[in-house]
Amino acid sequence: MAEERAAKAGHTDEKSSAYKTRLGVKMFLVYCAVYFGFVVINSVKPTLMGADIGGLNLAVVYGMGLIVLALIMAMIYTNLCSKEERKHGESDREGQA
């Protein structure tokens, strides 16, 4: 019984693994692009990072934005991957019935 569940889980894992990989790489590239903007501003015009935005400088706002973006992207990734796994899990169960 436990072996059967493990086999089913492995099968679901195989199906959703490619999706997770593609999604993870795409999200990583989006984050890299945003982070690259941070690095470029610091390299090309570092004085711009001192610009005042609501009582904080751009460096702090951008840096906190990067952290918040990473957390939001992690939640999106988890949600989308869970949906994909459930979809494959449901189709596996339908095939078994």
Look up the domain containing 44 and give its range.
Answer: 19-90
Least confident of 5-9, 16-20, 73-77, 80-84: 5-9
Residue 5 lies in a domain: no
Residue 13 lies in a domain: no
Angstrom distance (rounded) from CA 38 to CA 16:
33
pLDDT of residue 2: 46
What mean pLDDT do residues 82-87 have? Answer: 89
42 belongs to a structural domain: yes
Answer whether residue 40 is part of any domain.
Answer: yes
For residue 3, being part of any structural domain is answered with: no
Confirm whether 36 is domain-assigned. yes
Domain count within the chain = 1
Of 87 and 22, more confident: 22
CA gap 68, 73 in Å, rounded? 9
Phi, psi angles (nearest 5°) of residue 16: -85, -15
Tokens of 82: 């869970």
Residue 97 lies in a domain: no
For the segment 31-63, what is each residue's pLDDT rounded down to a tens digit?
999 999 999 999 999 999 999 999 999 999 999
Q: Which two tokens stand for residue 1?
A: 């019984």
